[in-house]
Structures are given as structure tokens and as C-alpha cells.
Amino acid sequence: MESAEDYQTYKALLDWQIELGATEAIGDVPVNRFEAPKKLAEPARPAAAPATPVAEPRADPVGEARAAASAAGTLDDLKPALAAYDHCPLKRGARNLVFADGRPGARVMIIGEAPGREEDLQAKPFVGPAGQLLDRMLAAIGLNRAAEEIAQAVYITNVVPWRPPQNRNPNAQEIAMMRPFVQRHVDLAEPEIVVLMGNISCDAGLGKQGITRLRGQWTEAYGKPCLPMLHPAHLLRTPAAKRETWADLLELQARLEGTA
Ligand code: URA
């Protein structure tokens, strides 16, 4: 609390200032009257709408398959490149990657459709019932996937290396993204002749289906002479079709012997 003495002292000081002509009280803090006036506060704006997320560049599964496949310089590079490829949904449901069997460099390369249950378990193409029939068909014209001699050898793969759920057919997108790998597989295995087994294999290799019309007619796929044939699984269901397949096998044999 101020004392009466303080009061009298301050009042005397004030009177003295008034006598000197002061007309305004002076604050403790100096005021700069030349300073630009402060901006008025901006009116509140409505809350900004949430920013539109920047679109991720869209994945290009076929382009990525092409890049991965063409970067593989050998078959030993191609298998891990395929294993590392993550765009094919079939990969998630399969136990194993089914890459190939037989002898790379064989004169004949067989391209099937997709692994089934046995193939998925053993990570080898054509080892189930259809594969056992295929082995008998090949043996009938002197070919064998386990042959030491290159003249009798065959090399076997599929359009898709992962088993589709419930053995359904691979769809158009799955085939399209696997095609660059199949093309590279053929380039690196360097067969003389490609055999397309069944509709899916014709779809991937020739861009068309209709195996009953296409079978037995030489054409070209993956840059090689190729022969479409009925799939052995079809022959198991329709034994009468074995007659046509026998004719196709003899055609293949004649071509290999140069007598076609
Ligand atoms: N059918 C195919 O097309 N490929 C296999 O590996 C097995 C069955």
C-alpha cells in the first residue's frame, strides 16, 4: 500500500509536469508513432477441405514383367526373377513356384497351362496324372524328360508357374503378365520346336483359343515353329481324342527326323 508521503510526492511531480505544459500521461513503455499500424486480424476462414491425396503412379504389371524377364540373362536368373515378381495374384495361393523340368537346350520345349495339386506340391511341371500320360506320349516317339542324350531330351514348363485356386483357368490378366516370362524362357532355353499343350497355352502363345481346330497345324509362337496339341488332361477325360494326338505326335516326330 502506498503511504500518504508517496502520494504527496507523486502529486507534486505531476503538478510540476502540468506546469511544464504536459497534456498527456506518458506510459512506461515508449510508443513509436511512426510505426506502420498492425494488420487487422484476418477473418476466420472456413476449414480447408482435406487435401486430395496425390495419385500413386499406377503399377504396370505387364511392363514390370517385361523389364524383369528381359533383365534375366540365363535360366538361372529367370527363376528368381519370376519368384520375385509380386503382381500375379496366383502366387499368394500357391505352395511353390513351378518353373520347369527336363533339359534346357532340348530340341522340343513343351508349354503347358498351369500347375495342378501334385505339381504345386512337388514344384515340378506335369507330375500328376496328366503329366504321367504326357510322359507316355513322349516315350511313344522316343522322347524323355530325363534323357541324358540331347536328341531324346525335352524341356517342360507352363504358362503360369503358380497353381490357380481350385485348378481354375488362369484369366486374361494373369496370362498377359506371365507372357513376357514365357517368351524369355523360350529365348533362353533355345528349343527348335515349341509344343503348345491346350487352350491356355495357345491363348498365351498365339493369342487365340480353339485347340480342336488349332491342333496338329504348324504355326509360329515365341519366334519358333510350334505345334498345338490337345492337353493330356483332356485326353484323360476324352480317351477317343487320343487318336488325333497320336497323329500329332507322329507329325512332331517326322519334323524332328527331317521327314515331315
Ligand atoms: N497341367 C498343365 O498344364 N501343367 C502341369 O504342370 C500340370 C497339369
What confidence tens digit (pLDDT) does each residue in 96-117 have?
999 999 999 999 999 999 999 9
Q: What contacts 109, CB < 8 A, 6 or more positions away?
A: 154, 155, 156, 157, 186, 189, 191, 193, 194, 195, 224
Q: What angle, 0 to 180 degrees and rounded to 10, lies between the N-to-C axes of helices 172-189 and 61-71?
A: 10
172: helix, strand or coil: helix
Would you place residue 58 in the very low, low, confident or very high pLDDT band (cuts 50, 70, 90)?
Answer: confident
pLDDT at 27 over 70: no
What confidence tens digit (pLDDT) does each residue in 204-247 have?
999 999 999 999 999 999 999 999 999 999 999 999 999 999 99
**For residues 85-97, average pLDDT:** 98
Residue 99 in contact with ligand 1 by CB distance below 6 A: no
Residue 161 in contact with ligand 1 by CB distance below 6 A: no
Residue 164 in contact with ligand 1 by CB distance below 6 A: no
Q: Which of 19-33, 50-64, 73-87 has the highest mean pLDDT?
A: 73-87
125 CA: nearest ligand 1 atom: 6
What confidence tens digit (pLDDT) does each residue in 155-186 have?
999 999 999 999 999 999 999 999 999 999 99
CA of 125 to the centre of ligand 1 (A): 6
CA of 69 to the centre of ligand 1 (A): 22
Residue 101 in contact with ligand 1 by CB distance below 6 A: no
Distance CA 187, CA 156 (A): 14
Residue 120 in contact with ligand 1 by CB distance below 6 A: no
124 CA: nearest ligand 1 atom: 6
pLDDT at 28 over 70: no
Give the ranges where the chain is alpha helix by DSSP (H).
Answer: 4-20, 61-71, 75-84, 90-93, 117-122, 129-140, 172-189, 199-206, 211-214, 232-237, 242-256
Residue 125 in contact with ligand 1 by CB distance below 6 A: yes
From 5-14, 109-118, 130-139, 206-215, the region with the lowest mean pLDDT? 5-14
* Cβ neighbours of 234 (radius 10 Å): 19
CA of 59 to the centre of ligand 1 (A): 29
Residue 158 in contact with ligand 1 by CB distance below 6 A: yes
CA of 21 to the centre of ligand 1 (A): 111
Distance CA 62, CA 229 (A): 27
CA distances from residue 40 to 33, 37, 153, 220 in whole angstroms, order as listed: 17, 9, 89, 80
User: Would you say 117 and 163 are in contact if contact means Cβ atoms under 8 Å apart?
Assistant: yes
- One CATH from 3.40.470.10, 3.30.450.370, 1.20.90.10, 1.10.3720.10 for 64-257: 3.40.470.10
Residue 114 in contact with ligand 1 by CB distance below 6 A: yes
> What's the confidence (pLDDT) of residue 244?
98
Residue 216 in contact with ligand 1 by CB distance below 6 A: no
197 CA: nearest ligand 1 atom: 3
Residue 119 in contact with ligand 1 by CB distance below 6 A: yes
CA of 149 to the centre of ligand 1 (A): 24
Would you place residue 200 in the very low, low, confident or very high pLDDT band (cuts 50, 70, 90)?
Answer: very high
CA of 17 to the centre of ligand 1 (A): 110
